[in-house]
Amino acid sequence: MKCMRCGRDAFKSTTTEAIEFGFGVLVIRNIPCYKCNECDEIFYTGDVVKKIEVITERARELMQEVTVIDYEKAAA
Ligand SMILES: [Zn+2]
């Protein structure tokens, strides 16, 4: 996998994403991603992007002020 910003090699990693809803914040932990060693850019595969959208939609209905979801458990 190549970095989308600088084209160098990127490596598998995991990250935490915080999504602002206006009325609350959703935090998704342990998201599988690729991280560039050169510029620290983080990016996701298409599957992961879709899964994040599903998790986000589901969480929006149950939303509290702060919601923390573990990607690995939510994606299972
Ligand atoms: Zn890069």
pLDDT at residue number 38: 94
In the reported structure, the alpha carbon of residue 1 is separated from the centroid of ligand 1 by a whole-number distance in angstroms of 11
Q: What is the mean pLDDT of the chain?
A: 91
Distance 32 CA to ligand 1 centre (A): 17
Domain map of the chain by residue range? 10-74
Q: What is the pLDDT of residues 50-70, one digit of tens each?
A: 999 999 988 888 877 778 889
Comparison of pLDDT for 7 and 67, the residue scoring more? 7
Reported CATH class of domain 10-74: alpha beta
Distance 33 CA to ligand 1 centre (A): 13
| Centre of ligand 1 from the C-alpha of residue 5, in Å | 5
**10 pLDDT band (50/70/90 cuts)?**
very high
Return the residue matching tokens 């959208």.
53
Residue pair 45/29 in contact (Cβ under 8 Å)? The answer is no
pLDDT at 36: 96
Q: What is the pTM of this model?
A: 0.77
How much distance in Å is there from the Cα of 42 to the middle of ligand 1? 8
